[in-house]
A and B are shown apart, each in its own frame.
Chain A
Amino acid sequence: MTLPVSNFGIYVHVPFCTVRCGYCDFNTYTPDELQRADAAETWAESLVKEITYSLEQIEKPQILKSIFFGGGTPSLLSPEILKKIFTKVSLEFNLAKDIEITLEANPDTITKEIVKTWIDLGINRISIGMQSSDSAVLKTLDRTHNPENVKKAVNILQAAGLSNFSLDLIYGTPGESLTSWEQTVTTAIELEPPHISAYALTIEPGTALYRKTKLQQIPPVSADDQADKYLLLDKILSEHNLPWYEISNWAQPGFECQHNLNYWNNQNWWGYGPGAHSHIAGVRWWNVKHPFSYSKKLTEEKNAIEEKEILSTAQINLERVMLALRLKSSDLKEIVPNATLINWLREGYLKEDLNNFELTPKGRLLLDTLVNQLT
Chain B
Amino acid sequence: MAEIRVQHLRKAFGDFVAVQDSNFVVEDGEFFVMLGPSGCGKTTTLRMIAGLELPTGGQILLGGDDVTMLRARERDIAFVFQLFALYPHMNVRKNIGFPLLAQGMPSAEIRTRVEETAKLLRIDHLLDKSVSGLAGGDRQRVALGRAIVRRPKCFLMDEPLGTLDTEFRDLMVHELRELHNRIRATTVYVTHDQMEAMSMADKIAVMNHGVIEQFGTPREIYDRPATMYVAEFIGSPPMNFLKFGGGLAKGASEILVQGAKVAVPEVREDIAPADMALGIRPEHIRFDDASKLRGSIYGTEYLGTTQIVAVETADGIIKARVPAEIRLNAGDHVGLALNSARLSLFDKGSGRAVKTAIHDTASERRAQHG
- A and B together in one complex: no
Residues of A at the B interface (CB closer than 8 Å) are: none
